[in-house]
Structure 1
Amino acid sequence: MTTESSSVDDTLLEFLHMEAVKLLEEGSTGEGMNTATTKLDTMGFRVGIALVERCSADTMRFKDELDMMRFLCKDFWLATFMKQIDNLRTNHQGVYVLQDSQFRFLTNVAEGTQYLQTAQSLLAFSCGVVRGALFNLGLTCSVTVEVTNLPVCKFHVTVI
C-alpha cells in the first residue's frame, strides 16, 4: 500500500465516521441523543472485537492486565488510530487513563469550547472500540472519555 493510498483510506475512514455520527444523531435530542451514543458505542464494540482479533493473532499470551493495556496502547492503537497512545497511567487497582494528544477523530474538529459537546459524540464509537478490544482480550471494563481541550482526549478504562 502506498503512502498516498493510505492517506486516502484514512480520509475516507474519517468521513465515514463523521457521517455515521451525523446519521445517528440526526433528529436526536434529549434522550434520543443517549440512544445515538449507545448505538455508536455498540458499533464500536463489535468493531473492536474484530480488530483486536486481527492485531493480536501473532502475539504471545498476555501475562496480566497491564500487559494487555500496553498492547492496546502500542500495537492496537497504532493499527487502529495510526499512532501510539501518548501516555498510560494506572493506579494498579483496575483503573487506567490513556491520553492521546492528537486523537485521530478530533484533529479535524475546530478548536474551541463550542465543539467540546460534539467531541463526546465523535468519541462514543472509539470508546466502544476500546471496550470491545479489551473484552476480546479477556477484560470486562467500562470506558469513558474526557475532552477538555481539542484534540486532546483521555480515555478512562475501569476494569470490572
Structure 2
Amino acid sequence: MADGTLFEFLHTEMVAELCAHDPDPGPGGVKLNLAVLEGVGFRVGQALGERLSREMLALREELDVLKFLCKDLWVALFQKQMDSLRTNHQGTYILQDNCFPLLVRMAAGSQYVEEAPKFLAFPCGLLRGALSTLGIESLVSASVAALPACKFQVLIQKS
C-alpha cells in the first residue's frame, strides 16, 4: 500500500460502518457483520495473492507459501514482516505480529482488547484469500492477549 495511514483509515471506517449498521445485533449479528468483513478481506487477499505471486516461482510447499505471506504479503500491506512463524508440522501455523499496525492506535488502554476481534476479521479473510489463491484451503483465526500484538492461527484443510 502506498500510504499506510489511508489503509488504516479505510479499514477503521469499514469496521465502524459494519458495526454501526445494526446497533443491537444480538448474539448472531456480530458474527454476521464480522463474516461480511472477513469476506471482503478474502476477496482482497485473493487479488493480492494473484498479483504478488506472479513474480514468484511456483510455491510448492505449505511452509514456503506461509513464508511468502509472512514476508512478501505483509510487507506489501504493512511495510513490515510478520515477527514469527511457528508450526506443529501437522497443518497448524501460528503467525505472530508483535506490533500489528491496525491495532497500534488501540494500544493506549487495555479496555480495547475486547474490541480487537472486530479489527482482525478483515486481515483473517485477507490471509485466507491469499492462501486460497495459492492453492491452500484453510481456516484462519486471530487472537489478542495484549495490544498491539496479535496471533493468527492458520489451520490447513486437507482434502
Query: How high is the TM-score relative to the length of structure 1?
Result: 0.92
Task: Give the gaps of 5 or more residues in structure 1.
Answer: 1-5
The answer to whether the Cα contact below 8 Å between 1:86 and 1:98 also exists between their aligned partners in 2 is yes
Aligned to 2:120: 123
1:29 is displaced (CA, Å) by 2.7
1:147 counterpart letter in structure 2:
V
2:39 counterpart letter in structure 1:
T
Aligned ranges 1:54-73 → 2 under 5 Å: 54-73=51-70
Aligned to 1:11: 5
Cα deviation 1:65-119 (Å, max 9, x = unaligned): 1111111111111112221010000001000000000101001113333111211
Aligned residues: 154
1:28 is displaced (CA, Å) by 4.5
3-state DSSP class of the match of 1:142?
A: strand
- Report the Cα distance in structure 1 between the residues aligned to 2:109 and 2:144, rounded to whole angstroms: 11
Aligned to 1:102: 99
Cα deviation 1:41-76 (Å, max 9, x = unaligned): 000000000011111111001121111111111111
Match status 1:113 vs 2:110: yes
Match status 1:29 vs 2:19: no
- Report the Cα distance in structure 2 between the residues aligned to 1:54 and 1:46, rounded to whole angstroms: 13
Aligned to 1:136: 133
Aligned to 1:81: 78
3-state DSSP class of the match of 1:108?
A: helix
Query: 101-110 or 118-127, which moves further after superposition?
Result: 101-110
2:5 counterpart letter in structure 1:
T
- Report the Cα distance in structure 2 between the residues aligned to 1:106 and 1:14, rounded to whole angstroms: 9
2:57 counterpart letter in structure 1:
M
